[in-house]
Amino acid sequence: MPQDQPLEVFVSGRVKYAVLVIGLVAMAAMTVPGLRAPWITAALWVCLGYFAAEMALKTRQSSHFGRKPPYLGSAEFWWDVLGVVPVPLALIAGLPPEKAWLLASLWILKLATVVPGLSLLGRIIHLEARPLASVFVIFLIVLLLASVAVHLAEGPGQPEKFGTLPLALWWAVTTLTTTGYGDAVPETFVGRSVAGLVMICGLGVFGLWTGILATGFANEHRRREFIRTYELVTRVPFLRTLDAAGVIELTRMLRRQDLAERSVVVRRGRAGDCMFFIASGEVEVQVEPKPIRLAAGSFFGEFALLDGAPRTATVVTTRPTTLLTLDVTDFHAFTAQHPDLARELEAEAARRRAPVKDAGHIVNDADAAQ
């Protein structure tokens, strides 16, 4: 889709973020009487136009290439509709502009589709729904009983602050979450004792909440990392000789590393404590007489593990690249249990050492795949 690339750039990434930030700042400015100016309104209309254009482009692309799932009717589509339609509707309905443009705050929901980790968080909340609900029930019980107690204790003395249960509930929420506005403060001994207990319960509830989310996050994170790394390991030809159990074991040892274009992976002369497999992307090994490029599936950096020698060449990525890193300790542990792989690796290293004397620890894709 080369003819669409300029449009792609236009509707994605930095331009979109910039439009979003400008739009939201302009919306905030609209609510300040002193700042409300014609050019603020103009900026808002430009942002709205941008989002409408983005929708149109996405719709056209979707129909053009027939890719699935289709854009129209997808979740993304409805998010986009929510950004474009409400403000004009509100203006047509006769709302004053400074109120109508407040609906532009829905634009911030576009962030949710850009950030990758939201589905992870959603999944954790889904998986841990039961214990989270339990903690929430404890929260509600403490809230209501504390409100009743403080209403009874403080109501007679401060009727305008604790005289009704809803007022007491408001106090209880601000106290149990340890926000503590200080607009309503108990003054009797009983009221303050209840308040102290509520604060301590607040810490406890919060601790449980954090504990549940921390546990859920740790479990889900570990699982996702494993699945993603496993998939990448299966793409490295050199590791195809491993049996299923060996792949699992190696997957547990490898660490995924996403690098931008032109990142330095290893620097000549530095000590080396790991080797690298290229899962996707490409790197350039800066050796004389001319640099060598390694594609996905290759590996490099194994000399440092076999000999303990410093890095013999600087390696730089030429495009966004995903590497799998194997630490020296894991390397020894793994090769101790898989002597075949160790022998093969040393054979490769020996072969490469001979002809590319200066090039350092390199194997090109073709070699590795044999």
Q: Is 230 a residue that touches a copy of itself (CB under 8 A)?
A: yes
As a whole number of angstroms, the distance between CA 19 and CA 23 comes to 6
Site string for a copy of itself, 140-159 (x = CB under 8 A): xx--xx-xx--xx-------
For the chain, the farthest-separated pair of C-alpha atoms sits apart, in whole angstroms, at: 93
Contact present, 212 and 132 (Cβ < 8 Å): yes
**Contacts of a copy of itself in 264-283 (CB under 8 A):** 273
Cα separations in angstroms, 253 against 222, 226, 346, 369? 12, 10, 20, 22
| Binding residues with a copy of itself: total (CB under 8 A) | 95
Decide if residue 74 touches a copy of itself (CB under 8 A). Answer: no
Our finding on whether 166 is near a copy of itself (CB under 8 A) is yes
Quick one: 33 or 73, whose CB is closer to a copy of itself? 33
Q: Does 335 bind a copy of itself (CB under 8 A)?
A: yes
Nearer to a copy of itself, 322 or 335 (CB): 335
Site for a copy of itself in 185-214 (CB under 8 A): 185, 189, 192, 195-196, 199-200, 202-214
With CB under 8 A as the contact rule, which of the stretches 44-52, 70-78, 181-189, 309-317 interacts with a copy of itself? 181-189
Q: Contact between 31 and a copy of itself (CB under 8 A)?
A: yes
* CA 107/CA 115 separation, integer angstroms: 14
CA 48 to chain centroid: 27
Among 247, 259, 306, 349, binds a copy of itself (CB under 8 A): 247
Should residue 115 be labelled a site residue for a copy of itself when binding is judged by CB under 8 A? yes
Does the protein bind a copy of itself through residue 164 (CB under 8 A)?
Answer: yes
Residue type, 279: A
Among 75, 92, 93, 245, binds a copy of itself (CB under 8 A): 245
Quick count: other Cβ atoms within 10 Å of Cβ 345? Answer: 20
Question: Quick one: 364 exposed, middle or buried, by C-beta within 10 A (0-12, 13-18, 19+)?
Answer: middle
Residue for token pair 């990434």: 13
Q: Does residue 135 bind a copy of itself (CB under 8 A)? A: yes
CB of 89 to a copy of itself, least distance (A): 16
> Near a copy of itself by CB under 8 A, which window of 88-96, 283-291, 326-334, 343-351?
326-334
Q: Determine, following the binding rule CB under 8 A, whether residue 182 of this chain makes contact with a copy of itself.
A: yes
Q: Cα(24)–Cα(12) distance, rounded to whole angstroms?
A: 17
By CB under 8 A, tell whether 169 contacts a copy of itself: yes
Distance CA(133)–CA(148), nearest Å, equals 23
As a residue count, the chain comes to 370
Burial 118-131, CB ≥16 within 10 A → b, else e: eeeeeebeeebeeb
